[in-house]
Amino acid sequence: MNVGENKVVSITYLLRENDANGELIQEVNEERPFVYLFGQGGLLPAFKSNLEGLEDGDIFDFKLSKEDAYGAPSDENIIDLPKKIFEVDGKVDESLLKVGETVPMEDQEGMPLVGIIAELGDEVVKMDFNHPLAGMDLHFCGKVLEVREPSPEELEHGHAHGPEGH
């Protein structure tokens, strides 16, 4: 069966910066493959088009330029926030506020957003909301483990289910 719209696809891959010899960013292996309902959002379009049409057992190896991946980092995504919004019960937990720490937050519409603490001031925390992979060319190599039809439930939910359900 070929990778295409509304098929459940399981893949393993190595993600490296730049090319096949670049720094390893992420490894997805056969113990915990990446399983998803193809065509249901959340994937980079260029990543999707590189997998489309492959079959069970096929190997893939491709590069996405940063323009096709997460774009260039922008200063507009670096924002000063008042330190007091990090207060819980009137106190800031200083052990959580460290440069380089990732902080899950929400935007004005309540959508989840991940920020990295870039700088700490007395009153202000500089947060970097650029995607961690912004500015990078990405190299993927991996294997298609399985392509199957979704269950009616998976189609209804718009995502793939593991062997034990969700």
Degrees, nearest 5: CA angle 119-127-94: 60
In the shown chain, the binding pattern of residues 106 to 145 toward Zn ion, with x for contact by CB under 5 A and - for none, equals ----------------------------------------
- What does the alpha-carbon distance between residue 124 and residue 122 come to, in Å, rounded to a whole number? 6
Instruction: Tell me how far, at minimum, the Cβ of 157 lies from Zn ion, in Å.
Output: 3
Per CB under 5 A, 36 contacts Zn ion: no
Q: How long, in residues, is the chain?
A: 166
Instruction: Tell me how far, at minimum, the Cβ of 161 lies from Zn ion, in Å.
Output: 6
Query: Token pair for residue 103?
Result: 């902080």
Sheet holding 102-106, edge to edge: 78-82, 124-128, 112-120, 102-106
Instruction: Tell me how far, at minimum, the Cβ of 71 lies from Zn ion, in Å.
Output: 30
Contact 158, 5 (CB under 8 A): no
Judged by CB, which is closer to Zn ion: 12, or 40? 40
Per CB under 5 A, 40 contacts Zn ion: no
Per CB under 5 A, 157 contacts Zn ion: yes
CA proximity to 4, closest of 42, 68, 48: 48
Q: How many residues bind Zn ion (CB under 5 A)?
A: 1
Judged by CB, which is closer to Zn ion: 121, or 158? 158
> Where along the sequence are the contacts to Zn ion (CB under 5 A)?
157
